[in-house]
Structure 1
Amino acid sequence: MTEAERVPPGVNPHVPSSARVYDYLLGGKDHLAVDRAVADRLLAVAPDTRLVARANRMFLVRAVRHLAENGVRQFIDLATGIPTSPSVHEVARAVSPACRVVYVDYDPVVRMHADVLLASEPGVASIQADLRRPDEILVDPHVTGLIDFDQPVGVLVVAALHFVRDEEDPAGIVAEFRKRMAPGSYLVLSHTMAESDPDAKAQLTMATANSPAEATFRGHDEVLSFFDGFELIGPGLVPVHEWRLDDADDAAIPLLSGPPKLRVDGGVGRLTG
């Protein structure tokens, strides 16, 4: 079967997808030639990017585990990406089977995989929606059916907001969710940084220009501002391979020989009031 025959309906095989590029970097199999071309162009100047992708994934895993261990029983995963194990519901339910999860992504390939994998998972739902339209997500019946905003919720925006342009108001998107979140809720967020290597930024920008995979690089202070209203826990906003809450996390963190060429910072904030 040719690659063209494997393209789901509604997918343009000539336009890269951030979800499929990320899947390729993580060693998955759900990507097209256009996605591999983007990733390979970046890997040529930033060969440690696969390790950064793994570190970002493990940041998500550690954060979700911490939230579940601290009593959070419901999660909204924005811009989920192609399902990768361990998934959010697997990590959370290893702590408490009562955890509920809604996955959100606008990519039809992500929705196709999620529908298959989650068909028999009660308390877990997947919706096809754009994080740029938080008002639509917050009233979706799958969200309102599973998420009680009077109780703490974990909102996950991992490696997602850098695909939101400045004029699309990324801070406003976070604020819309914050307004609905009860005290004791958490924001988990990671973002590609302006402090990345200039060659890595240039290659990724050129390879993804005018596509849904085009990233906006933001500086530390700007990304930190997304946590307005939240109290950062642990080490604060730091490179994802450095984010840990105790030494027991060390074994799960991919080893990097030095500062990564493509820098991704992550943080976890708690809503206190």
Structure 2
Amino acid sequence: MTVRPTSETTGETNGIDTIRPHPARMYDWYLGGKDNYPVDAEMGRQMLALDPRVPVMARVNRAFMLRATRWLTGHGVRQFLDIGTGIPTQPNLHQVAQAVAPEARVVYCDNDPAVLAHSAALLRGTPEGATAYVQADVRDPDTVVEAARAVLDLTRPVALSLVALLHFVPDEDGAHELVDGLMSQLPSGSYLMMTHATADFTPEESTAAVEKLTAAGITLALRSRTGFARFFTGLDLVEPGVAVVDRWHPELGEPVPGQDDGTIPGYGAVGRKP
């Protein structure tokens, strides 16, 4: 079954801000997509000047999501809640999950009107499964979960995907509390899959990137390995635990060109709720 957008997700898309760069559209630009604006490309070029591997980092984060989805589906997970979905790029999470388990159910969530404009691509799932898109913000977890409840059975395990998202939510906005609040509404046996950028390996470049993005109105909260691991407090980490993002179960996917050119400045992990 494919779930079509509700009235909440079929509103006007002319609210897209083309004056300031947006992380989802910049991510699309890094991936070679066309659903971005000159302001996104310009900021992307500024990030490339600081570290030419930024597009590699974007691809590595996406590759983690695909590997983690394969791992989770292979271990019996049939429901996914992907927050911070971004502009659709093939393959999408539901395509990977439903290739293993056609009955898998996936709810995507993002707050960017540009993602809403392309959300139809996220609804082309298998007849046996379900896919849906919710226009909402991770900072409003109750709204996200309530909307997801229309598609997902929250008495059964759910994999919560927060890939390359929480480094845009600073501690003062309650980033750790947001994750705790989301996981508290999911049953035992649910999982958290997550990646996060860090300054641990490139402190000077990271400081410059934070300054440029802050000036453009984008918050970037780069966390240490310890700060990232804190999101998994109370969860049982899947081996190998917290790892540099491209070193988490690399056998589950194809290598990303360029990823061997130094340590990727980000962490990834998957944890299970007892």
Give me the TM-score of the superposition, normalised by structure 2: 0.89
Determine whether 1:11 maps to 2:35.
no
Determine whether 1:131 maps to 2:134.
no
Please tell me whether the aligned partners of residues 42 and 200 of structure 1 are also in contact (alpha carbons under 8 angstroms).
no
Please tell me whether the aligned partners of residues 162 and 193 of structure 2 are also in contact (alpha carbons under 8 angstroms).
yes
| Matching residue of 2:210 | 205
Determine whether 1:258 maps to 2:262.
yes
Q: 2: CA distance between counterparts of 1:119 and 1:80?
A: 13
Q: 1:117 aligns with which of 106, 117, 121?
A: 121
1:113-262 paired onto structure 2 within 5 Å: 113-114=118-119, 116-119=120-123, 121=125, 123-140=130-147, 143-209=148-214, 213-244=218-249, 248-249=251-252, 251-254=254-257, 255-260=259-264
Q: Secondary structure at the match of 2:180?
A: helix
Shift of 1:211: 5.0
The aligned amino acid for 2:38 is A
The aligned amino acid for 2:267 is D
**Which sections of structure 2, spanning at least 5 residues, go unmatched?**
1-12
Q: 2:61 aligns with which of 18, 33, 56?
A: 56
Change (3 A) 1:56 1:229: same
Change (3 A) 1:129 1:159: same
Please tell me whether the aligned partners of residues 48 and 256 of structure 1 are also in contact (alpha carbons under 8 angstroms).
no
Change (3 A) 1:267 1:120: closer
Please tell me whether the aligned partners of residues 18 and 212 of structure 1 are also in contact (alpha carbons under 8 angstroms).
no
Q: 2: CA distance between counterparts of 1:16 and 1:210?
A: 11
Change (3 A) 1:225 1:112: same
Greater shift, 38-47 or 75-84, is seen at 38-47
Question: Any idea what the Cα deviations from partners look like across 1:6-32, whole Å, max 9, x if unmatched?
Answer: xx5112211110000111111111111
Question: Any idea what the Cα deviations from partners look like across 1:111-158, whole Å, max 9, x if unmatched?
Answer: 1101x3245546111011000110111112xx1111111101000000
Q: CA RMSD in A?
A: 1.7
1:83-94 paired onto structure 2 within 5 Å: 83-94=88-99
Please tell me whether the aligned partners of residues 230 and 270 of structure 1 are also in contact (alpha carbons under 8 angstroms).
yes
What is the number of residues matched between the two proteins?
258
Please tell me whether the aligned partners of residues 45 and 199 of structure 1 are also in contact (alpha carbons under 8 angstroms).
no
Q: Secondary structure at the match of 1:226?
A: helix
Give me the TM-score of the superposition, normalised by structure 1: 0.89
Please tell me whether the aligned partners of residues 152 and 185 of structure 1 are also in contact (alpha carbons under 8 angstroms).
yes
Determine whether 1:268 maps to 2:270.
yes
Q: 2:104 aligns with which of 99, 104, 113?
A: 99
Q: 2: CA distance between counterparts of 1:210 and 1:79?
A: 22
Q: 1: CA distance between counterparts of 2:218 and 2:196?
A: 14
Question: Any idea what the Cα deviations from partners look like across 1:69-107, whole Å, max 9, x if unmatched?
Answer: 111111000010001111010000000110011100000
Please tell me whether the aligned partners of residues 71 and 252 of structure 2 are also in contact (alpha carbons under 8 angstroms).
no
Change (3 A) 1:147 1:211: farther
After the TM superposition, which segments of 4 or more aligned residues of structure 1 sit over 6 Å from their partners?
none
Q: 2: CA distance between counterparts of 1:90 and 1:250?
A: 15
Please tell me whether the aligned partners of residues 201 and 263 of structure 2 are also in contact (alpha carbons under 8 angstroms).
no
